[in-house]
Amino acid sequence: MTDLRKHLPILARHEGVWDGWYRYYDPQGNRIDEHRSRLVCRFPHDGPWPYHQTNHYSWADGRTEVRDFPAGYQYGRVIFDNELITGWAAEVGLDDFHRSVMLYWVRKGEPDLCLYEMIQISDCGQHRHRVWHWYKQGRIVQRTLIDETFVSRNWQAISGPSFAGDPVPA
């Protein structure tokens, strides 16, 4: 198995558990949705996937969702190909500060819907911020802003979401 920590050191800084908020906006800047999140980003030492991310989402109305993203590695990129998306993630080599990762993916069953994501991790490794630009037939249809705080590097010890006591964002 490929050791992604060696090949993608910026992405390796993301390993662990992250809690945050996803906020969705229409093209005019109106907020259309928001929910809490807990992401578990891991680089397993064994198994079929060198990268594996599980996203736990929770809305104020009680809805929850879990999405799983196992991924391979090829040509300097993490490669996603699951029932929801196909795409890739790669470090931004031009970032002199070594904070940036970029993703691109297409929704399965919706080939005219794609997304570009840019992720920045703080120098201290305790915060990260992400922005998604959603395009349909070449036109922006939505933006997603994500703010996250690092919870633990020990992803093996955390089994799922824990949003108790989290402050509601302004």
So what's the pLDDT on residue 133?
A: 98
By CB atoms closer than 10 A (0-12, 13-18, 19+), residue 60 is exposed
For 36-46, what is each residue's pLDDT tens digit?
999 999 998 88
pLDDT of residue 170: 35
- State how far the alpha carbon of 67 is from the alpha carbons of 108, 109, 134, in Å: 14, 17, 18
> Phi then psi for 59, rounded to 5 degrees?
-100, 160
Tell whether pTM > 0.85. yes
- What is the residue-averaged pLDDT of the chain? 91
**Per-residue pLDDT tens for 76-89?**
999 999 999 999 99
Give the mean model confidence (pLDDT) for residues 10-25.
Answer: 96
Residue 58's identity, in one-letter code, is: S
Phi, psi dihedral angles at 49 (to 5 degrees) = -120, 130
